[in-house]
Amino acid sequence: MNWVEAIGYLGTGLTIASTAMSTMIPLRVVSILASVAVMTYGLLTGSMPVVLTEAIQIPFNAWRLYQMVRLVRDVKRAAGGDLSLDWLRPFGESRRVAAGAVLFRKGDPAGEMFLIESGRFRIEELDLDIRPGAIVGELGMLSPGNLRTGTLVCTEPGIVLGVAYADVKQLYYQNPEFGFSFLKLTSERLFQAAQAAPARAPAGTDVI
């Protein structure tokens, strides 16, 4: 095997490796390296279709890589190193809400969660006040059929930041800090709901 073929095989190996990867940033980096190797091979062997294919792919992969790195950087910067959910801010859309407005009702299809920026809100079924800084509407992403588990009403006018579940999922998959915070928040609320639910066995009944 001469060195030109070696470059070609390197390109083949990197292309296969990138196809097998599931994490976006390493996948894009390896794809770009694969394209460079295959393109070099194409140039050295005079195969213009190969060169052209790879030359088109490199900018696409580079752009996606840039977007992903920027997303992770923004999240990290906003996170400031703690597990606060404030770092959702760069990904949301602010909305003004009037007192008495219902953001969603129990059973509605859910597509976004909210960071409460200001004002006061209430989850009717739980008789629970929601204050600025709180995250609400995240359980709809996990509930069967993506349905709301409660009704959110505005009790004092304020501003909410809506973050689409598609963005929440991207952040979840790409950023372990976010993923862990999200898991913690949702499990805490589910534990609370389980504790608040009436026990199935009547008092005094032995549970085997």
Ligand X SMILES: Nc1ncnc2c1ncn2[C@@H]1O[C@@H]2COP(=O)(O)O[C@H]2[C@H]1O
CA angle 150, 170, 119 (to 5 degrees): 40
Alpha helices, DSSP H, located in 80-98: none
Cβ closer to ligand X: 27 or 110? Answer: 110
From the CB of 182, what's the least distance to ligand X, in Å?
A: 11
One of 31, 35, 149, 181 touching ligand X (CB under 6 A): 149
Give the interface segment with ligand X, choosing from 24-32, 42-50, 138-146, 160-168 (CB under 6 A). Answer: 138-146
From the CB of 39, what's the least distance to ligand X, in Å?
A: 48
Cβ closer to ligand X: 37 or 103? Answer: 103
Cβ closer to ligand X: 78 or 128? Answer: 128
Cβ closer to ligand X: 7 or 139? Answer: 139
Rounded to the nearest angstrom, the gap between the alpha carbon of residue 170 and the centroid of all alpha carbons in its chain is 3
Q: Which of residues 85-124 bind ligand X (CB under 6 A)?
A: 110, 123
Buried b (16+ CB within 10 A) or exposed e, 140-176: bbeeeeeebbbbbbbeeebebbbbebebbebbbebbe
CA 42 to CA 52: how far, in whole Å? Answer: 9
One of 137, 153, 154, 182 touching ligand X (CB under 6 A): 137
From the CB of 58, what's the least distance to ligand X, in Å?
A: 41
Q: Which of residues 173-192 bind ligand X (CB under 6 A)?
A: 189, 192
Give the interface segment with ligand X, choosing from 9-17, 39-47, 146-154, 200-208 (CB under 6 A). Answer: 146-154
CA 165 to CA 167: how far, in whole Å? Answer: 5
One of 138, 154, 171, 175 touching ligand X (CB under 6 A): 138
Q: Phi-psi category of 107—alpha, beta or left, where left has phi over 0 and alpha has psi -120 to 50? A: left
CA 129 to CA 157: how far, in whole Å? Answer: 14
| Chain residues in the site for ligand X (CB under 6 A) | 110, 123, 126, 128, 136-140, 143, 148-150, 189, 192-193
